[in-house]
Structure 1
């Protein structure tokens, strides 16, 4: 019996070493030196790479390849079992790859075939410059982990990948030039596969892809987002042998229709299901209410119609429900009539925004005590929102009620039970007094109380309520008085933007934080010069709208600091003098409005540098 335990510990120790090698990067466990043939194979691989930052310096200075960067060896045989050289911060944007950190470049050399004991290969986020995915990568019988995401490989996926019978993890995501031409026949041979990520790979020719997914007996996690998938005709029927282990499925941003639903409902163990940005139409099936393991359900940005099934209240583990940007309709009170269901205790994120819901906001939203995000923005809701709606929402962090016809009716002394991060109440009527309850909120970063019917001065406590505020929209009210110095560290940073337009503010324009991104002050009564601009030396300003005020004086001559500026509107003021030549430094400017002022002289020739201006 004792001997058996010793053997167990030996086996567990070996497995722990293998696991460590599988997840480490700079593994240096080696009781024996690496094998010379494998060392030479690695050097040939290195010779096919460009390494401008000498990331593989240890490959030249150390004799034992088991001590090289990214190499892991078996501490029993000395065979190389891990090659892990992921790059950093390589992203694909607008058909181009951008590398913000020095990564390896070149090609994946045929010499890697000399590493026949390899179990772990990670070359992700390096740049292989559009070269094909090598077919020889299907020749590693022991390979369990293969990661090549964001490597700019291209061409057809070689069917030889189906030979990797030991493969557990496969990530080819982010390679938008990679195409599947074999209808994923090779995929159904990967019987050990647990995680598959091919997001962004072109699978438009894989017409029978659901059948291939059905044939993966061990699969747990699948990501096929942005793959140009459509449903086969006729649709694939549910397979009684479908994997019962699948827990996460991301099919977002494809061309899938509602005919996918019967196939999906066979996967009863799904925990996370993402179907957003597809072509789903018609009502949401009640059958979702029988997927008892669901934690996340994302159906937003489709064309779904009808109401929200009441069966959702039976989903006792559902924490995130995202149904925004559809054509859902009806009164929310119909959906909320069963808040005694267990979803009331589990739900944390609820997005119903940009639909066609009508009627009042039901009081029993306040029963969902674990709610963190509530978004109903952009519907046709009306009626009064009172303190009762939020009585038990102590965990609420993000509140989106804007773009409805709601009126907020809170007592003057009301102190909410929550501390919000995002407050989006645009078009919700809450005036005429400035909302006093905001004084209790000192954690928010974004505030929108535009078009709220407020006719008041902004109280002094507001401007230093939170230094974390980076987005402020109080436009389209009747706020009046002067705006204080906003560059002080005691007030908000406004690192994103500030919109005070369409109010009755007066006096000089105050200083702003140097890192502000957008300033909207149009249609007020501001007066004096605009010399405050020259203090914004960080050059991050992208939009500046000071139109329709009473500003006067010469234009400042510091436009060289605003090369990021894309919108500049100074029209309908009393500005005078000549237009400075430094305005020609605005090489990214797209909208330039200077009309209805008192400028003199000729336009500077330097404005010819502003080639993107689109003036009506």
Structure 2
């Protein structure tokens, strides 16, 4: 119970504590405690205390836990009034103050028990008592505490008390401060009427005390008009009555009932009378209607801090922000469902210091006016739908210490003005769409401790100025497009604890200076293009003067080379070592693990490493995960593996293992495997007995295991993914399959299984998503139990000897299917129109069977093939990190295995059957189809003219049918077509041409069509040949149109030219005179020439 309450209270430990506790400690508590201990006179610090009280104090001290024997070490002097935490009345010598608050708050919850000695009742003049933060081991509140009649200050908070709150607290009528915060205990109070007997009470904290049975709780609290501060966090008060008492808390300034699910809207109207209220905490109260909330907030004119987080409040945020006090300094509205434009949210709240609006549905852009909120210290808008750029004006917020903008749709570059925020401690802008480089000015943020820019589109190189951030503790830049080398200046970040730069495009070498980052705890440089050796890094870290705290080292998926330095074994705190998928070479020996006693995760897979460890080696560690795939470990499974009692994941694929699996391996790991991968070796003999936990992955594929699958193999197998493909397994399909309730993927392809499927009576693997049984010798009909596998996505039973008709329940029951591959069997009958119900189908392969009848026109309704698939994602969700779905697709004359890009591929193959009739026009609606093969059937009639609408087609095979007519001209528009086969049909006419079709210049793709002509076949006769891309009739129509256009152009040209000339003569006198003079001269010269010729 205490742990649950501690978790609840942790939800609200943030700026309110900073603000509230500052207020209490420096304005209320200090002055209050001084006056209480004083009692009207000066505290006695000299002289002797009363001996009986001295003995009582020593008895009390003897029962208090002091872990370092220094807390109460001053309690030896003769005068108890000089002891730490003790104060006395100057006149009488009586002890008036006892402060036994546990002085090491970081250890609270992990300390030994104390007890309250009954001698406490001897201190009858106590006015101040503090027992907080101790461990009283869930004892009840001692009677001695409530027997101190002069108490004015009592603090029992977080002291692990339990049981009922004594009503005798009501006898302490002089109490002004009462803190019973029970968040580390288990207190309850079924009646609070005793509160009405505390007329002077100013401060009350009963947080985490169960008051669910105190029906009079509000009435009791309301009877204390002097109350200024009330905390009832997670106290679970009962429902409020319909009629609330008249508001009487005239002095209230702090009202905190967070975590009280029974607080409803009615309390808002009641609180609107609290005009002096400065702090209102109503977080996690289950929800409020925004209307009454809007009205109540408008009445609280002095409100400075407002927390309404986690209340499922919907509606426009302006309804709240527009009505709060203009004096507001802290606003917390996170974890609601508020909508509206962020630009219109802030309004005139120019005094805001803290604003957090995380996890809402806010939209719009961050406004430039944000720069006017110069008092801001804490700004968080994470997990909304904010778009646009970060405004340059953010650089005006020079007091800002925390920025959280992660999880939005923010674009553009990080403004250079960010460098003006020299007080910034946290900068979180991850999970957005930010582009451009990290600005050089980030180096000005000398107080920055955490920088999160992960999951963006940041480009460019890391600026050298990042080395100026000497206080930086966490740098997260993963999942971006950062290029270039890691700056050498990173080696100067001596405060760095976490460095995460994975999944970028970094190159170059690891800077030598990174070996001096002796405070590093987590280093992840994986999935980059970093080259060079790791010796300087590992050797440097191993020589750190202080104990190195590095527990996680991720360097996988790079281009690292050289050897693994033996100094790796000196990094004592390492728990995770990931060096896989590099080009590391050399030997791995005992020296690499000498001091790695707490190593839990080791993966050196996919390197050229040779693991040289003696058979009798006993590792210093006990690991959860060991990965050595594609390393050289010898021909036997290392015997030292059996010392790993905690081992859950073992990757030894492609390591050169041979022969039978040793007998000890079958009895090893009695707790069961999570992931066992022994694939791609030369292991032989019967399948080993392996035990696995639920949802495990077992991969024994690509070996030489033989014999049947025995019941002993399945006895302790609870795998979700079982891959046994590419072995020599024989016998019948195992009946244990029916009872594998957790099975999601089963791959037994490429084995020697035979016989019929078992009858699964009333027990089915209903979680099954992928079934691969292709290339075996299975016989009989398609098993009907598959119709109960509603989640099935991939069904591959190709290359077997299955018979019968294709059942209609495939279309009715398996609506999630994305891959249906039944090729090369003995199925007969027609293809059911119900096939159209498979709206998610990407691959349909029914080739090489005895199917007959027409292709159903409903095939045009396969929705996943109608649209273009452009999202690359796992075809199935089952452990996508560890399993990648794969399917064989026969296309372009060869069979290719698709895996990574399978979600982008669409294919229909109905070839080599006895299908007849015409190709349905509806088929051409599959505009997203990539591969279509209808060859070797008896299809007739014309190729549909709209086949050119299938714009994504890459391969089209209609060969060996009875198709007639001309090849549609639109076929020339298929720009992605790279494989075409129309051979052996009855096609005629000219072959259409286009830039793409001209690349398909093999005559064999048209052979067997005697009336086809044109490239790449023989030229068509001129008088008969159709025009390029069309018919002769089209050519003649084109010629007629061209002649008409030519004649029309000549007529229009003559008319325009003639009237242009004549019009100019009429309108322009100078031109007209010049023209006629020119004509006269020409006539005169012609006359002279004519007379001259006549004389001759």
2:318 is the alignment partner of 1:309: yes
Q: 1:41-56 maps to which residues of 2 (within 5 A)? A: 41-49=56-64, 53=69, 55-56=71-72
2:287 is the alignment partner of 1:280: yes
SS at match of 1:438: helix
Alpha-carbon contact 1:208-1:236 (below 8 Å) kept: no
How far apart, in 2, do the equivalents of 1:204 and 1:311 lie? 30
Q: 293, 309, 324: which is aligned to 2:334?
A: 324
Alpha-carbon contact 1:349-1:373 (below 8 Å) kept: yes
2:198 is the alignment partner of 1:197: no
2:353 is the alignment partner of 1:348: yes
2:94 is the alignment partner of 1:85: no
Alpha-carbon contact 1:591-1:614 (below 8 Å) kept: no
Larger deviation: 430-439 or 535-544?
430-439
2:217 is the alignment partner of 1:209: yes
How many Å apart are 1:417 and its aligned residue? 5.1
Q: 1:558-597 maps to which residues of 2 (within 5 A)? A: 558=567, 562-576=571-585, 577-578=587-588, 580=590, 583=593, 586=596, 589=599, 591-597=601-607
How many Å apart are 1:350 and its aligned residue? 1.5
Partner of 2:170: 162
How far apart, in 2, do the equivalents of 1:139 and 1:553 lie? 76
Alpha-carbon contact 2:339-2:362 (below 8 Å) kept: yes
Choose between structure 1 and 2: higher helix proportion. Answer: 2
How far apart, in 1, do the equivalents of 2:329 and 2:336 lie? 20
How far apart, in 2, do the equivalents of 1:402 and 1:515 lie? 27
How many Å apart are 1:308 and its aligned residue? 1.4
Alpha-carbon contact 2:434-2:457 (below 8 Å) kept: yes
How many Å apart are 1:514 and its aligned residue? 0.7
How far apart, in 1, do the equivalents of 2:327 and 2:289 lie? 25
Alpha-carbon contact 1:87-1:126 (below 8 Å) kept: yes
Q: 171, 178, 190: which is aligned to 2:186?
A: 178
Partner of 2:468: 465
How far apart, in 2, do the equivalents of 1:459 and 1:42 lie? 62
How many Å apart are 1:119 and its aligned residue? 0.8
Q: 1:314-353: per-residue Cα shift (whole Å, max 9, x none)?
A: 51210111112222223224435xx3x3x2x211222112
SS at match of 2:251: coil
CA change 1:430–1:42 in 2 (3 A) is closer
Partner of 1:3: none
Q: 111, 114, 119: which is aligned to 1:111?
A: 119
Alpha-carbon contact 2:599-2:621 (below 8 Å) kept: no
Q: 476, 479, 484: which is aligned to 1:481?
A: 484
Partner of 1:375: 380
CA change 1:574–1:367 in 2 (3 A) is same
SS at match of 2:411: strand
2:251 is the alignment partner of 1:245: yes
Partner of 2:1050: none
Q: 1:533-562: per-residue Cα shift (whole Å, max 9, x none)?
A: 343343322332212112234434445655
Q: 1:215-260: per-residue Cα shift (whole Å, max 9, x none)?
A: 2222112222243x14x23546443243121212333344355444
SS at match of 1:66: helix
Partner of 1:505: 506
Partner of 1:265: 272
How far apart, in 1, do the equivalents of 2:103 and 2:355 lie? 34
Q: 271, 280, 289: which is aligned to 2:298?
A: 289
Alpha-carbon contact 1:90-1:150 (below 8 Å) kept: no
How far apart, in 1, do the equivalents of 2:582 and 2:33 lie? 72
Larger deviation: 509-518 or 585-594?
585-594
Partner of 1:399: 403
Larger deviation: 137-146 or 78-87?
78-87
How far apart, in 1, do the equivalents of 2:648 and 2:242 lie? 51
Q: 360, 364, 367: which is aligned to 1:362?
A: 367
Alpha-carbon contact 1:353-1:378 (below 8 Å) kept: yes
The structure, 1 or 2, with the larger RCO (C-alpha pairs under 8 Å, 6+ apart) is: 1
Alpha-carbon contact 1:421-1:443 (below 8 Å) kept: yes
CA change 1:273–1:106 in 2 (3 A) is same
CA change 1:559–1:211 in 2 (3 A) is farther
For the pair shown, the structure with the greater C-alpha radius of gyration is 2
Q: 1:267-287: per-residue Cα shift (whole Å, max 9, x none)?
A: 332212223344225537202
How far apart, in 1, do the equivalents of 2:569 and 2:172 lie? 58
CA change 1:133–1:411 in 2 (3 A) is closer
Alpha-carbon contact 2:599-2:622 (below 8 Å) kept: no
2:560 is the alignment partner of 1:551: yes
Partner of 1:424: 428
Q: 1:334-374: per-residue Cα shift (whole Å, max 9, x none)?
A: 435xx3x3x2x211222112211122223333332322332
Partner of 2:663: none
Alpha-carbon contact 1:210-1:236 (below 8 Å) kept: no
Q: 1:329-340 maps to which residues of 2 (within 5 A)? A: 329-336=339-346, 339=347
Partner of 1:13: none
Alpha-carbon contact 1:226-1:254 (below 8 Å) kept: yes
Q: 1:70-128: per-residue Cα shift (whole Å, max 9, x none)?
A: 332211122222222322124577xxx224xxx9x532122222221111112223333
How many Å apart are 1:425 and its aligned residue? 2.2
Partner of 1:7: none
Larger deviation: 237-246 or 31-40?
31-40
Larger deviation: 33-42 or 119-128?
33-42
CA change 1:38–1:123 in 2 (3 A) is same
Q: 1:487-544: per-residue Cα shift (whole Å, max 9, x none)?
A: 74xx323533112111111233232411012212111011233331343343322332
Alpha-carbon contact 2:230-2:256 (below 8 Å) kept: yes
Alpha-carbon contact 2:278-2:302 (below 8 Å) kept: yes
CA change 1:36–1:366 in 2 (3 A) is closer
Partner of 2:156: 148
Q: 1:501-540 maps to which residues of 2 (within 5 A)? A: 501-510=502-511, 511-512=514-515, 513-531=517-535, 532-536=537-541, 537=544, 538-540=547-549
How far apart, in 2, do the equivalents of 1:92 and 1:383 lie? 45
Alpha-carbon contact 1:282-1:303 (below 8 Å) kept: no
Q: Structure 1-normalised TM-score?
A: 0.83
SS at match of 1:126: coil
How far apart, in 2, do the equivalents of 1:565 and 1:246 lie? 54
SS at match of 2:49: coil
Partner of 1:220: 228
Alpha-carbon contact 2:278-2:304 (below 8 Å) kept: yes
Size of the aligned set, in residue pairs, is: 579
CA change 1:593–1:614 in 2 (3 A) is farther
How far apart, in 1, do the equivalents of 2:32 and 2:450 lie? 48
CA RMSD, aligned part only?
Answer: 3.4
2:294 is the alignment partner of 1:298: no
CA change 1:308–1:40 in 2 (3 A) is same
How far apart, in 2, do the equivalents of 1:398 and 1:175 lie? 28
How far apart, in 2, do the equivalents of 1:494 and 1:57 lie? 36
How many Å apart are 1:197 and its aligned residue? 2.5
CA change 1:436–1:553 in 2 (3 A) is closer
Larger deviation: 599-608 or 361-370?
599-608
SS at match of 1:464: helix
SS at match of 1:606: coil
Q: 1:15-72: per-residue Cα shift (whole Å, max 9, x none)?
A: x999377289xx971576433443343344345446572654554441x433444332
How far apart, in 1, do the equivalents of 2:434 and 2:365 lie? 16
CA change 1:356–1:155 in 2 (3 A) is same
SS at match of 2:220: helix
